[in-house]
Chains A and B, each alone.
Chain A
Amino acid sequence: MTRSESAGRIFAGIVRICARRTLPILFAWLANFLTLLAAIQAFAAAGFQTLSNSVIFLDLTGIIAFDAIREWEAARRLRCGFLGMGRNGSCVHTGKVRVYLKNREKGLWVMKHIAIGILGAATLGLMASAASATTLDTVKAKGFIQCGVSTGLAGFSAPDDKGDWQGIDADFCRAVAAAVFGDGTKVKFTPLSAKERFTALQSGEVDILSRNTTWTINRDTALGLNFVGTTYYDGQGFMINAKKLPGVNSALQLSGAAVCVQSGTTTELNLADYFKANKMEYNPVVFEKLEEVNAAYDAGRCDVYTTDQSGLYGIRLTLGSPADHVVLPEIISKEPLGPAVRQGDDQWYHIVKWTYFALLDAEELGITKANVDEMKSSASPEIKRVLGQEADTKIGTDLGVSNDWVVNIVKAVGNYGEMFDRNVGSGSPLKIARGINALWTKGGLQYAPPIR
């Protein structure tokens, strides 16, 4: 390794540390520093007053001193008042008013968001061959998988009332963790906005991006990602408030409407294409975060909400009165949603990809969370092979994991069908039918190559 490479590695380390764990501490430290600066300025200005020899000078410095002291106070208040931030960056709940807390989070979010953007770009710039260690080694060394999920989409990735992430996308990361560690709980989730997601994956902040993301050629090539498969076949739809717009029952009647959409998504592009192709006008109301789009639609800022149809059903449940809203029949695009990894690490790509296939194969072979231990001693050679019970099997070790990896996956999250039912299907409030997401043997599109 040359000297510049090692220097680059140190730099990358610093930047990465700053970007992730210590970011809140950095902000707390910055706030402290600001306070100190203002205090110094105040004292300096007060000191100058004694040197002054003209009236203007005296008055001006007086006001500067006054102003600086005020700034100092404001900085202190910012640090430990209702916008409380502890010395280690933790949030100090000194204020009791909810709205302050909520807005403080929004403020922090914007700061964090901008910082992630800039630091992400900086990390890319300074990474200096830090990627030479394989993702599997890095993951094993740190003992958990960092999984990029959405900021909250019911059925795919959303925190429940205990703060645990639930949904297909979250469970997929648990399945990978089970394959790698034999323990589905060794996952840490990073909520990402649509805008942050690719930079977060590219810069190594997350190991898997499992965030209802559409597979496109541009993302597979120019963005340097590799999609591993389609965990959910979706399509874009529209939702309206039927109470406010009783006459509308087709998307072709939407000309002139204000449409709420999340920025930086394929949804945004499909929307533009659809309205253009049908020679209709619309008025985009664009937000960056899903919650903001939801709030704007609920408040009536726009007439129509557009996103993937599965998302619409999930979002409808979170609205004030779900029964008032209808999803229009038109599906205007193909949205194959799936997890993605970075390019250039085939081993990791294969582990994630075959985790997905193992979930499907397990369902096809009838291996479930409940019967997986009995199935180990099944008479079928295929089931025994998949579960790693074949004598001298090397399937798992060749992949870079243990031979009972499929057992671990199924024990952690069940097979694909169980995962689907639990999160979006009949066992969930969303009640989405399997449809094209059924196995190929049942007329759907989900098909996996054999494990042998």
Chain B
Amino acid sequence: MASQEVLREEPSRASLINDPKVRSIFYQCLVVALLVSGVWWIVHNTIVNLTNLHIASGFAFLRGRAGFDISDTAIAYTSDSTYGRAIIVGLINTLIVAFVGIITATIIGFIVGIGRLSKNWLIQKICTVYVEVFRNIPPLLVIFFWYSGVLAVLPAPRDSINLPFSSFLNQRGFYFPRAIWGDGSWLILVGLLAGIAMAWFVAHKAHQRQMATGQQFPVFWTSLALIIGLPLLAYALSGFPLTFDFPKQSTFNLTGGFVVKPEFLSLYLALSFYTAAFIAEIVRAGIRGVARGQSEATAALGLRAGQALRLVVVPQAMRIVIPPLASQYLNLTKNSSLAIAIGYPDLTATTGTVLNQTGQAVECVVIMMVIYLAISLLTSLLMNWFNAKMALVER
């Protein structure tokens, strides 16, 4: 309590005009007022103009019947659904392609980034060429490369390429059997969850034991056995409830099974390969950023190269890598709007169709902007949290 009283200062005797506190509050208020009135002016002007031009406005159109179909839908959608639902379908498609794209780009990026620092001349050069090629080509060209250069030249449905496990590849997409979960298949999921939980527990215990006694335990193989073995056991116990729906040839196309369309595939591959080149450079920067003494110390301690990388170098590199990584993730998400060029129904494409069917340009553009902003803010929030978790804990 006493210390607080010491901190309390005498009130300033200068006039209000010269008081820096009052001044700063005044200027902040001024800026806020200008901003608010500017936004109000634009909004008001828009409404007045739309009325003058006899164009309908407002968001009520979102409840209207869409009337058009969408090729890739993750949730139930027919032409009877609403415009609002069509936009949500597009949003989910954007999120799906961004999510799998981010995972793949990260994996490829880490491999190539570490590969660029390899002592093996061939690996190093291959990775360098990869980075140089994909980093210097606009992403739209990469998408076109996959769509018209690779996937469009595949054979027609009648001459599909047969792959193992009853999968097929043709210019209409990649077909593989769809699993149909019968009665009692929930046991398999329980088995999987139990396996993951037990694997985590084993890893935790093994770590504790190693800390205490220095003895090691084959954590990796035990975990693998648990995570694969338990669901398999559950599968057998519940009487093999899993059946498959195989793709079959029909008049026009292959029907049945699960199909990944070429639009999705080319967008996903292009975004992954493009962003991976940037991530590779970030990873390389991170690893080069770890002091050389650290790797020398690991060598002196007798760790193998792989162990040194995994236990010492990468954890330190991660602290440098995460912030720029977050902006690459944001880039990938925003680049996914290039899907419009090849007809993948992402947020931009479906909202664009809604815009054109309803003519509500201002509303649709606002919806798109708000959604992309929300996705970006959410991603950076997540990455900031991850960054804080990985940051060096100073004692």
Which of A224, A276, A301 is within 8 Å of B262, CB to CB? A301
Residues of B within 8 A of A117 (CB): 352, 355, 361, 365
Q: B345 touching A286 by the CB < 8 A rule?
A: yes
On whether A56 and B291 interact (CB within 8 A), knowing A256-B255, A283-B253, the answer reads: yes
Interface bits B287-317 vs A (CB < 8 Å: 1, else 0): 0111110000000000000000000000000
Residues of A within 8 A of B87 (CB): none
By beta carbon, the residue of chain A nearest B251 is A256
Distance between B303 CB and nearest chain A CB, rounded to angstroms: 20
On whether A131 and B52 interact (CB within 8 A), knowing A121-B361, A219-B359, A284-B69, the answer reads: yes
- The reply on A330 being an interface residue by CB < 8 A is no
Interface bits A47-84 vs B (CB < 8 Å: 1, else 0): 00000000110011011100100100010011000010
- Rounded to whole angstroms, the CA-CA distance of A269 and B255 in the bound complex is 24
Residues of A within 8 A of B291 (CB): 55-56
- The reply on A350 being an interface residue by CB < 8 A is no
Q: A202 touching B55 by the CB < 8 A rule?
A: yes
- Rounded to whole angstroms, the CA-CA distance of A64 and B156 in the bound complex is 47
Query: How many chain-B residues does the 8 Å CB contact rule pick out?
Result: 62
Which of A106, A128, A199, A202 is within 8 Å of B341, CB to CB? A106
B interface SS class: helix
Distance between B148 CB and nearest chain A CB, rounded to angstroms: 8
- Rounded to whole angstroms, the CA-CA distance of A343 and B53 in the bound complex is 7
Interface-facing stretch out of A257-265, A331-339, A377-385, A437-445 = A257-265
- The reply on A103 being an interface residue by CB < 8 A is yes
- Within A279-313, the residues touching B (CB, 8 Å) are 282-288, 292, 295-296, 299-301, 303
Residues of A within 8 A of B352 (CB): 117, 195, 263-264, 288
On whether A292 and B252 interact (CB within 8 A), knowing A222-B56, A224-B54, the answer reads: no
Residues of B within 8 A of A77 (CB): 136
Q: B152 touching A299 by the CB < 8 A rule?
A: yes
- Within B69-127, the residues touching A (CB, 8 Å) are 69-71, 78-79
Q: A245 touching B252 by the CB < 8 A rule?
A: yes
Distance between B150 CB and nearest chain A CB, rounded to angstroms: 13
Interface bits B255-294 vs A (CB < 8 Å: 1, else 0): 1000000100000000000000000010011001111100
Q: A74 touching B135 by the CB < 8 A rule?
A: yes
Residues of B within 8 A of A59 (CB): 285, 288-289
- Within A330-386, the residues touching B (CB, 8 Å) are 342-344
Q: A198 touching B356 by the CB < 8 A rule?
A: yes
Q: A202 touching B361 by the CB < 8 A rule?
A: yes
- Within A317-335, the residues touching B (CB, 8 Å) are none
Distance between B285 CB and nearest chain A CB, rounded to angstroms: 4
Which of A110, A121, A202, A257 is within 8 Å of B365, CB to CB? A121
Q: B67 touching A222 by the CB < 8 A rule?
A: no
- The reply on A126 being an interface residue by CB < 8 A is yes
Known: A125-B46, A195-B353, A268-B68. 9 other contacts (CB 8 A): A4-B41, A56-B290, A59-B285, A83-B138, A125-B42, A195-B356, A284-B69, A286-B345, A288-B352
**Pairs across A and B, CB under 8 Å, 14 listed:** A63-B281, A125-B45, A126-B49, A127-B49, A219-B359, A222-B55, A223-B56, A256-B253, A258-B252, A268-B357, A269-B67, A272-B68, A286-B70, A344-B52
